[in-house]
Structure formats: C-alpha cells, structure tokens
Amino acid sequence: MLDNVFLKYIDAYLLIFGEINTQVMMRKFDICRAKSSRIFTIYREGRPTNMHYDSSRKCYVKGFVFEPLHLKDESATQFLAAIDIVFTK
C-alpha cells in the first residue's frame, strides 16, 4: 500500500518540479537508497515515457510525453501538501 503512495508522489513531484532523485524520496519517507531505487524501477516499468535519468544532473527528469499513471484525478499540489502533513517529522 505504501508503494502506491510513493508512486503517486513521483507523479505529483514530476508534475510540479519536473525532476526528482533518490535523495528526495529518502528524505521525505525516511527510506533507504535501495528502497528508493526499487520504487523508481517500478515507476519506470509502468510508464517508461514519463521520466528519464539525466546522469549529468543525477536525477530523473520529466519526459516530454508525460501522463500521470498513479495520481489519477487528484491535484498534484494538494497531494504533495497532504504528504507534507503526514510525513513531516
């Protein structure tokens, strides 16, 4: 169930900021690098055109063809705000 929250978070974060990396996930959800990497792998398997890895910037960048797979009809801004409330230490 929590994996679904992670996947929605990636959708929302890419929509708002245009890029994301493992550090963002690790800090927000207090997960290890391996877990964060697995989440990105799962995300990319579901929608490979949504993001690509930019090795010079060391982050995943929103793809030109982007369609939220996990966020559905939810507002990206509202979802990120709710996550901030729940996962802020």
Specify the CATH number for 1-65+73-87; select among 1.10.760, 1.10.10, 2.60.40, 3.10.100. 1.10.10
Which stretch of DSSP H or E encloses residue 59? strand 59-62
Provide the pLDDT for residue 2: 84
Provide the pLDDT for residue 89: 65
Estimate the crossing angle of helix 2-17 against helix 22-29, to 10 degrees. 130
DSSP per residue, 1-28: -HHHHHHHHHHHHHHHHSEE-HHHHHHH
DSSP 32: -
Sequence ranges of the domains in the chain: 1-65+73-87
- Block means of pLDDT (10 residues each) for the chain, 89 residues, are 91 97 96 96 95 97 94 92 88
Provide the pLDDT for residue 82: 95
